[in-house]
Chain A
Amino acid sequence: MQKTFNKLILSLILPALLLIVWQLSAWQAQNATVLPTIGRVLENFIHATDNFIGLGSIPRNIGVSLIRVLSGYTVGVLIAVPLGVLMGYSKTIQQIFETFVNIFRPIPPLAWQPLALAIFGMASIATLFNMPFGQQYVFWGNFKIAMVFLIGMGSFFPVVANVMFGVQSVRQTLIDSARVLGASEKDIFFKILIPAAAPSIINGLRVGLAIGWACLVGAEMLPGSVAGVGYLITHAYELARTDLVITGMICIGGVGALLDSIFRIIANKYFSWESKTR
């Protein structure tokens, strides 16, 4: 109990310090456009369900952003995990893809913006599924393919790299042990490599989601967006509403940390063997 309390206190020192510096600087600046006070930002959270600068409530914007990120992330992960596993498993597959992947990896997802827009235009989930015009269409129209692409790109690379590394670093003794126990190639793949690499795969998924989420603001800067936390930040900036910009930043940080902790809980629950195995 004492220990948990101490841990909590230690982890709160820096955030508290930041708040103090922020508040002091805000008083010093006397200019809400440069730096609003904590109170101003807090007020936005107290009235979170208000309609902000015509973009709807904060929960609604978070919801829209979450769906965007999760759809992009899902697409990225669905390609990255099998590819990473195969690259880790087979030297040939690795050689085919590695250079290709390495050329694209250093390109920041945002650099894809113009191309994504040119290729996918205004296509959205609504137009992709040919939805009839109506409320549904307007809602799903928020999810532009170009945005999904950018976020997917952001999540893809860390996932591929982590999964490949995880599969490659499975100890040879484990594979040899399985072989002498009579494992088929399929057994080796599904009963040894995948479970042995699972902690790295989960770690890759975790980093991928964090990066995908961090691509949000850039993706939501694309034209055609009328909602989402990223768009809220961009639009609030144009209106010189720095308090709303900070509100949006806190939302992104908070939701990101929350998603991350979900992964941490899963990893601790199911993969504790990894940290305890010498």
Chain B
Amino acid sequence: MKETILVEHLEKVFYSQNDMEIIALTDMNLRVPENEFLCILGPSGCGKSTLLRIIAGLEKASSGRVFYNGREHTKPCREIGMVFQSYSLMPWLNVLDNIALGLEFAGVSKPERMAIAREYLDMIGMSNFGKAFPYELSGGMQQRVAIARALANNPDVLLMDEPFGALDAYTRIIMQKELLRIWEQRKKTIIFVTHSVDEAVYLADRIILMSGNPGRIKKEIAITIPRVRERSNPRYGELTSELLALLEGA
């Protein structure tokens, strides 16, 4: 199958203040086929966010390469969108202007980008909040807007860095459902970073389990439970326990 994102022998080394070498990632190899929902699961500090930032082009790899549709990718671009954990909306712009921001950068005319922004505003079920400012929204609503903003750019790939990590458990479950609905509507390749086993099992086609010090891939598991997945499904429980056990050993 054709891969959208290909990561080859990626390595990332940081230097601490006293010049200590910290290996964040070592020999990472990743192949993400078109329209796959991939979850990267791992404990805090295992380098999963760093990996995502390198794929996005926000950080440089120390060695190794990232390919997007066969071409080497080093700088952020419109085709690869990203959703951050929290507080990524421009606080001085209202919801519509935030959603339209990427289109504004692309030089889309104001009426046209507003029309597109409205469409995505409706999609996230916030039609009445177009003129609201980020500080007037709950954390869940802010994340919905952030997702809409990333999607309005119509990216090919969506990178999500613990996008629901700051939300309460209930909102989180709703957002997961919502995200799957959107993903099924407009097929995208999604790389979703999380440290929640449940979230990964609920969402992913495939889970990459990472371990830290230095960050590397520990295991790869395909999730074949049909969607919409029921948490009461015995297979769901088995997978969750298996992953939790692996994570403990990570």
Contacts and interface: CB of A to CB of B under 8 A. Distances in A.
A277 B105 contact: no
B90 A192 contact: yes
Contacts of A34: none
Given A273-B91, A273-B92, A274-B91, A182 B153 contact: yes
Nearest to B101: A181
Given A182-B153, A273-B91, A187 B56 contact: no
Contacts of B89: 177
Nearest to B90: A174
A91 interface: no
A182 B76 contact: yes
Interface stretch (B18-26, B60-68, B80-88, B115-123): B80-88
A187 B103 CA distance: 12
A174 B149 CA distance: 13
Interface residues of A, number: 24
B54 to A, nearest CB: 13
A178 interface: yes
Nearest to A275: B135
A187 B102 CA distance: 10
B188 interface: no
Nearest to A175: B58
A278 B166 CA distance: 14
Contacts of A196: 90-92
Contact of A180 (B80, B92, B133, B136): B80
A276 B102 CA distance: 24
A67 interface: no
Contacts, number: 75
A183 B57 CA distance: 13
Nearest to A186: B105
B195 interface: no
B222 interface: no
Nearest to B79: A182
Contact of A171 (B82, B87, B134): B87
Contacts of A184: 105
A273 B56 CA distance: 29
B105 A187 contact: yes
A184 B101 CA distance: 12
A179 B76 contact: yes
Nearest to A182: B78
Contacts of B149: 177, 181
B102 A182 contact: yes
A264 interface: no
A180 B58 contact: yes
Given A176-B58, A276-B135, A182 B105 contact: yes
A6 interface: no
A82 interface: no
B244 interface: no
Contact of B88 (A174, A182, A191, A195): A174
Nearest to B104: A191
Nearest to B133: A273
16 contacts: A171-B87, A173-B84, A176-B88, A177-B90, A179-B57, A180-B56, A180-B57, A180-B80, A180-B81, A180-B150, A191-B104, A273-B91, A273-B133, A273-B135, A277-B135, A278-B87
Interface of A: 171, 173-174, 176-184, 187, 191-192, 195-196, 198, 271, 273-274, 276-278
